[in-house]
């Protein structure tokens, strides 16, 4: 088999595989199923008295009650942010496992990004200009 | 008696550490730099540490409850293996084990120091400082040989540091911590982790010694390279065992919770991973001298930070079983290490910064640099996430949490980048890589990765991150296999002999590639088991069944038995296929109740090629039982991957390098063409 043919087959297989992956994964992501939302939010909100376990992980009665409340809010069409704010104001900021982007939270989220950019710049600038 | 012997051992080791500092330092400055004078303190330190550990074991095995540590951590019904492990099951004892490992490492380092080796002698003095801290800790705030002097209601109310005061003994000990006596893994996990933690002392000490002496070049790096890889492998193995224990024993249905203490072990591992890679660049190309010093300081400091977080009770977690004066001492030591070594670095850095520049980013060095950047940022993000709640609380703010969602958000993109770099890096030539050359080496593996992704999608996987990880993981493995087969093809002789010969020709390179294959499997396991897990809770009456996912679970009977150290209540279950006809496995998740709380729910796990079925009790089994049933796809790839990557590290260090034969390419990294 000539090099050219092999290359063509390679590209063909690659394109086909990418097609399968894209087509296979696209439709799944559009679903805003209430069960999926409940699962996602339950992972992002901590049970207030369970040593930092999320509502999804904790077996405690409190956590189960809070999941019921969470589900009510979802069924009443609250947005994720509204639900998040509701839990934070009712039980304190520490129930948010995903620290919000305010105050010190800005530093938490932006410092790694800043380090990535500045580190990347340093590496880039170390390249020799000759060549 | 036992307490006196033990304490004398600790004091011997403490004095010897101090002596080691003085003798090693003055030998390093003397005219002939003769190491003969350090042999005694090094041996005595080891002897003292071993005596302390043996005395502690003797106290535990002989049920000498007049020792406060023994009474608090064992009882006459504790099984033998957990008595043995009891010596490191709590704070004071674990520091004794730490000291023994440190003394063994010191002894091994001392054996490599020959006459005229000023760097080695200075490094021994630095190790002396570190050991003085640890043995000093044992002799003061963390003394494992405190004896009980007053009993109130059968338990010890007051204790003394003096081992020869008239001691009183409670009739029975409290027993081992249930979490720790529930599974054999808890006897092995801490020693492995400690070998990892302590192992970084040698690279750190040589780095500090090189800075103190102003020894440029890579001697310190060459001499400690093996230590770093060994420590890295053990640390990884320790973390893996911890994760496995969490999965097999704790019954919450996971193996990793981004718990601050887990992060504390993961952080030095990340820094060490970066260090091992950047060390290759310095050894091969003379670059990154200053950066390697920073990384080794960071790695060592992170091990101390990890110990501080684990042992001080600063954070609430499954690991913080203690609170004592050890916390402040560790914090002070951490501050001294960080400020001291960074101060030294700031003072001496100008000596180490004259490295050659990068010819081009498109080169092996370039990919190594990217790898280092990604790993460093990764570690920084996890460090921030770990310390953020502690720092805010210390500043007087309201309590906040940083949990799994934050860490996942950071980890997933980083994992993508790392896997990509891992696929491309090892087949990229040094100095300057022509894109054509690299492309020829990665094109076919990329197609293989995409095909694997397509197969995963066709077989029903729906999670984007999982599919991306499968594509990249397959790409990494395919690149390595392709390169390997190419090398094997070039070797004369039988195929089997050639296959072994290639691996032995450059153990460092191929050990690294084996570790990469392990990491690729690990990544697939982590992604699949977390991204596609399902969790359900079912209530089943005895004799009845419930269908969960594609399985049918029959609750056959409640079981109950008394063992010497615990009461075990279980539910006998039959795991069957969806229509309840064929049995797949018999499972018995249990509750273990020990003399002291908490009760431990041990899950039952059925491991299959495509997925694990994990069943834990949510209630005590009776006429009915509530079960947490979880399904974790491809779980085995996680454990296998972890073991393979540890094996890769071991191969890199211990494999005997094959002798060169004619007709074989020079013994350099295989992809340097």
CA dist., res. B110 & res. B408, Å (int): 43
Q: What integer pLDDT is reported at residue B461 of this predicted model?
A: 84
CA B262 distance to own-chain centroid: 9
Q: What integer pLDDT is reported at residue B662 of this predicted model?
A: 43
Q: Are strands B600-602 and B604-607 parallel, antiparallel or unpaired?
A: unpaired
Other Cβ atoms less than 10 A from the Cβ of B350: the count is 10
Contact B480, B518 (CB under 8 A): no
* Residues contacting residue A117 through CB under 8 Å, at least 6 positions apart: none
Shortest CB distance from B388 goes to which of A16, A57, A108? A108
Side-chain-facing half-sphere of B129: CA atoms under 13 Å: 18
The larger pLDDT score, comparing residue B316 to residue B458, is at: B458
For residue B626, pLDDT beyond 90: yes
For residue B574, pLDDT beyond 90: yes
Shortest CB distance from B450 goes to which of A14, A52, A112? A14
For residue B276, pLDDT beyond 90: yes
What is the percent of chain B where pLDDT is above 70?
95
Contact B506, B669 (CB under 8 A): yes
Q: What is the mean pLDDT of residues B309-336?
A: 72
For residue B317, pLDDT beyond 60: no
Q: What is the mean pLDDT of residues B347-373?
A: 83
CA dist., res. B412 & res. B464, Å (int): 11
According to DSSP, residue B255 is labeled: S
Question: Nearest chain A Cα to B358, which residue?
Answer: A127
Query: Residue B312 — pLDDT band, cuts 50, 70, 90?
Result: low
Shortest CB distance from B401 goes to which of A14, A21, A97? A97
The string of pLDDT tens digits covering residues A41-72 is 888 888 887 777 788 877 778 888 888 898 99
Q: What is the mean pLDDT of residues B357-361?
A: 78
**Cβ separation of B377 and A13 shorter than 8 Å?**
no
Q: What integer pLDDT is reported at residue B673 of this predicted model?
A: 31
- Chain B hits for A80, CB-CB cut-off 8 Å, are none
What is the average pLDDT score of chain B? Answer: 89
- Chain B hits for A87, CB-CB cut-off 8 Å, are none
Other Cβ atoms less than 10 A from the Cβ of A130: the count is 7
Q: What integer pLDDT is reported at residue B422 of this predicted model?
A: 93
For residue A34, pLDDT beyond 50: yes
Work out the angle at residue B260's Cα, subtended by the Cα atoms of residues B258 and B263, and round it to the nearest 5 degrees.
65
Question: Nearest chain B Cα to A116, which residue?
Answer: B377
Helix H or strand E encompassing B567: strand B566-577
- Chain B hits for A18, CB-CB cut-off 8 Å, are 450, 454
Nearest-Cα distance to chain A for B108, in Å, is: 37
Q: What integer pLDDT is reported at residue A29 of this predicted model?
A: 54
Cα dist from B548 to B135, B322, B585, whole Å: 54, 40, 15
Query: Residue A31 — pLDDT band, cuts 50, 70, 90?
Result: low
Number of residues that this document lists for chain B: 673
Query: Residue B321 — pLDDT band, cuts 50, 70, 90?
Result: very low
For residue B139, pLDDT beyond 90: yes
A–B interface: beta-carbon pairs under 8 A:
136
| Among B513, B410, B521, residue whose Cα is nearest residue B469 | B521
Query: Residue B102 — pLDDT band, cuts 50, 70, 90?
Result: very high
Q: What integer pLDDT is reported at residue B670 of this predicted model?
A: 39
Q: What integer pLDDT is reported at residue B19 of this predicted model?
A: 97
Q: What integer pLDDT is reported at residue B176 of this predicted model?
A: 82
B373 at A interface, C-beta within 8 A = yes
Q: What integer pLDDT is reported at residue B288 of this predicted model?
A: 86
CA dist., res. B86 & res. B82, Å (int): 6
Q: What integer pLDDT is reported at residue B443 of this predicted model?
A: 92
For residue B668, pLDDT beyond 50: no
The string of pLDDT tens digits covering residues B550-561 is 899 999 999 999
Query: Residue A1 — pLDDT band, cuts 50, 70, 90?
Result: low
Residues of A with CB under 8 A from a CB of B: 10, 13-14, 16-18, 20-21, 24-25, 28-29, 43-44, 46, 51-54, 56-57, 59, 92-99, 104, 107-108, 111-112, 115-116, 119-120, 123-124, 126-128, 131
- Chain B hits for A97, CB-CB cut-off 8 Å, are 401-406
B112 at A interface, C-beta within 8 A = no
Query: Residue B667 — pLDDT band, cuts 50, 70, 90?
Result: very low
Side-chain-facing half-sphere of B616: CA atoms under 13 Å: 23
Work out the angle at residue B564's Cα, subtended by the Cα atoms of residues B561 and B568, and round it to the nearest 5 degrees.
30
Q: What is the mean pLDDT of residues B539-548?
A: 93
Shortest CB distance from A131 goes to which of B360, B409, B443? B360
Q: What integer pLDDT is reported at residue B519 of this predicted model?
A: 96
Out of A28-32, B14-18, B225-229, give the one with best mean pLDDT. Answer: B14-18
Helices (H), B62-177: 68-73, 80-86, 91-111, 118-139
Query: Residue B319 — pLDDT band, cuts 50, 70, 90?
Result: low
Contact B477, B517 (CB under 8 A): yes
Q: What integer pLDDT is reported at residue B353 of this predicted model?
A: 72
* B576, two tokens: 């069957």
Q: What is the mean pLDDT of residues B127-149?
A: 93
CA dist., res. B379 & res. B264, Å (int): 10
**Cβ separation of B450 and A17 shorter than 8 Å?**
yes
Q: What is the mean pLDDT of residues B346-374?
A: 84
Most B CBs within 10 A among A88, A97, A107, A110, hence the mutation to make, goes to: A97
- The B residues from 384 to 443 touching A (CB cutoff 8 Å) are 384-385, 388-389, 392, 397-406, 409-410, 432, 443
Nearest-Cα distance to chain A for B424, in Å, is: 18
Least confident of B79-93, B163-177, B510-524: B163-177
For B95, counting Cβ atoms within 10 Å of its Cβ (0-12 exposed, 13-18 middle, 19+ buried), the class is buried
For residue B585, pLDDT beyond 90: yes
CA dist., res. B250 & res. B244, Å (int): 10
Work out the angle at residue B27's Cα, subtended by the Cα atoms of residues B25 and B29, and round it to the nearest 5 degrees.
75
Side-chain-facing half-sphere of A90: CA atoms under 13 Å: 13
| Among B613, B574, B576, B568, residue whose Cα is nearest residue B594 | B568
For residue B25, pLDDT beyond 90: yes
The string of pLDDT tens digits covering residues B186-205 is 888 989 999 999 999 999 99
Work out the angle at residue B645's Cα, subtended by the Cα atoms of residues B334 and B423, and round it to the nearest 5 degrees.
105
Q: What integer pLDDT is reported at residue B138 of this predicted model?
A: 94
Shortest CB distance from A97 goes to which of B357, B399, B406? B406
For residue A129, pLDDT beyond 70: no
For residue B394, pLDDT beyond 50: yes
Most B CBs within 10 A among A52, A100, A128, hence the mutation to make, goes to: A52
**DSSP bridge partners of B152:** B155
Cα dist from A57 to A63, B317, B368, B451, whole Å: 9, 15, 38, 35
Dihedrals phi, psi of B604, to nearest 5 degrees: -110, 135
> The pTM is what?
0.91
For residue B547, pLDDT beyond 90: yes
CA dist., res. B58 & res. B64, Å (int): 8
Least confident of B5-19, B47-61, B534-548: B534-548
* B515, two tokens: 């570790």
Shortest CB distance from B401 goes to which of A18, A96, A124? A96
ipTM: 0.86
B370 at A interface, C-beta within 8 A = yes
* B196, two tokens: 């990892």
Contact B142, B324 (CB under 8 A): yes
Q: What integer pLDDT is reported at residue B51 of this predicted model?
A: 97
* B158, two tokens: 């007051």
DSSP E strand boundaries for B97-214: 147-152, 155-160
**Cβ separation of A14 and B447 shorter than 8 Å?**
yes
């Amino acid at each position: 088999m000539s090099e050219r043919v092999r290359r063509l087959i390679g590209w063909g297989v690659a394109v086909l595989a990418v097609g399968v992956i894209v087509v296979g994964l696209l439709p799944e992501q559009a679903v805003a199923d209430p069960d999926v939302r409940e699962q996602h939010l339950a992972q992002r909100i901590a049970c207030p008295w369970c040593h930092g376990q999320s509502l999804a992980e904790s077996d405690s009665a409190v956590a189960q009650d809070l999941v019921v409340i969470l589900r009510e809010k979802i069924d009443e069409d609250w947005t994720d942010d509204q639900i998040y704010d509701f839990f934070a104001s009712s039980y304190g900021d520490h129930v948010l496992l995903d620290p919000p982007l305010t105050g010190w939270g800005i530093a938490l989220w932006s410092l790694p990004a800043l380090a990535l950019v500045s580190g990347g710049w340093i590496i880039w600038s170390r390249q020799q200009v000759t060549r | 008696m036992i307490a006196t012997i033990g304490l004398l051992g600790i004091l011997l080791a403490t004095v010897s550490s101090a002596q080691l500092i003085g003798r090693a330092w003055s030998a390093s400055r003397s005219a002939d730099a003769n190491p003969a004078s350090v042999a005694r303190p090094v041996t005595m330190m080891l002897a003292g540490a071993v005596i302390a550990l043996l005395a502690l074991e003797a106290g535990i095995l002989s049920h000498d409850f007049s020792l406060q540590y023994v009474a608090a951590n064992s009882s006459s019904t504790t099984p033998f293996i957990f008595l043995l492990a009891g010596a490191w099951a709590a704070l004071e004892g674990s520091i004794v084990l730490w000291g023994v490992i440190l003394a063994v490492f010191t002894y091994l380092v001392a054996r490599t120091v020959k006459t005229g080796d000023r760097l080695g002698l200075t490094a021994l003095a630095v190790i002396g400082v570190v050991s003085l801290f640890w043995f000093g800790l044992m002799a003061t705030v963390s003394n494992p040989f405190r004896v009980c002097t007053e009993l109130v209601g059968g338990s010890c109310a007051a204790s003394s540091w003096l081992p020869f005061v008239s001691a009183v003994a409670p009739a029975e000990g409290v027993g081992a911590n249930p979490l720790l006596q529930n599974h054999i893994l808890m006897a092995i996990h801490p020693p492995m982790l400690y070998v990892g933690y302590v192992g970084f002392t040698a690279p750190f000490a040589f780095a500090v010694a090189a800075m103190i002496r102003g020894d440029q070049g890579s001697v310190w790096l060459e001499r400690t390279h093996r230590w770093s890889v060994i420590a890295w492998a053990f640390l990884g193995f320790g973390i893996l065992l911890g994760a496995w224990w969490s999965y097999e024993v704790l019954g919450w249905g996971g193996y990793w919770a981004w718990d601050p203490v887990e992060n504390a072990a993961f952080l030095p591992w990340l820094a060490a991973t970066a260090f091992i890679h950047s060390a290759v660049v310095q050894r091969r190309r003379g670059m990154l001298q200053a950066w390697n010093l920073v990384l080794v300081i960071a790695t060592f400091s992170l091990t101390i930070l990890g110990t501080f977080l684990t042992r001080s009770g600063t954070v609430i977690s499954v690991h913080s079983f203690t609170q004592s004066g050890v916390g402040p001492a560790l914090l002070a030591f951490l501050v001294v290490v960080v400020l001291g070594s960074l101060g030294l670095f700031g003072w001496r850095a100008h000596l180490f910064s004259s490295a050659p520049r990068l010819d081009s980013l498109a080169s092996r060095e370039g990919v190594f640099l990217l790898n280092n950047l990604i790993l460093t940022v990764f570690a920084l993000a996890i460090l921030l996430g770990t310390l953020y709640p502690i720092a805010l609380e210390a500043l007087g703010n309201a309590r906040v949490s940083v949990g799994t969602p934050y860490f996942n958000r950071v980890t997933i993109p980083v994992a993508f980048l790392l896997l990509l770099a891992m696929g491309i890096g090892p087949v990229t030539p040094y100095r300057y890589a022509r894109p054509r050359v690299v492309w020829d080496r990665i094109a076919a593996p990329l197609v293989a990765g995409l095909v694997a992704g397509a197969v995963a999608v066709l077989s029903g996987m729906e999670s984007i991150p999982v599919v991306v990880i499968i594509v990249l993981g397959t790409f990494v493995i395919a690149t390595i296999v392709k390169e390997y087969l190419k090398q094997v093809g070039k070797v004369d002789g039988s195929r089997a002999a050639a296959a072994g010969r290639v691996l032995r020709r450059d153990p460092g390179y191929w050990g690294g590639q084996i570790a990469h294959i392990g990491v690729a499997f690990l990544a697939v396991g982590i992604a699949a088991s977390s991204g596609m897990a399902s969790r359900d809770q079912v209530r089943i009456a005895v004799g009845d069944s419930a269908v969960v996912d594609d399985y049918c679970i029959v609750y056959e009977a409640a079981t109950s038995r008394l063992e010497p150290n615990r009461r075990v209540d279980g539910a006998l279950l039959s795991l069957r296929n969806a229509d309840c006809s064929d049995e797949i496995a018999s499972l018995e998740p249990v509750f273990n109740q020990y003399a002291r709380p908490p009760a431990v729910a041990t899950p039952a796990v059925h491991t299959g090629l495509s997925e694990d079925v994990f069943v834990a009790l949510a209630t005590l089994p009776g006429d009915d039982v509530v079960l947490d049933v979880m399904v974790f796809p491809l779980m085995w790839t996680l454990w296998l991957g972890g073991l393979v990557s540890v094996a890769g590290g071991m191969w890199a260090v211990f494999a005997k390098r094959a002798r060169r034969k004619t007709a074989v390419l020079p013994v350099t990294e295989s992809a340097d063409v």
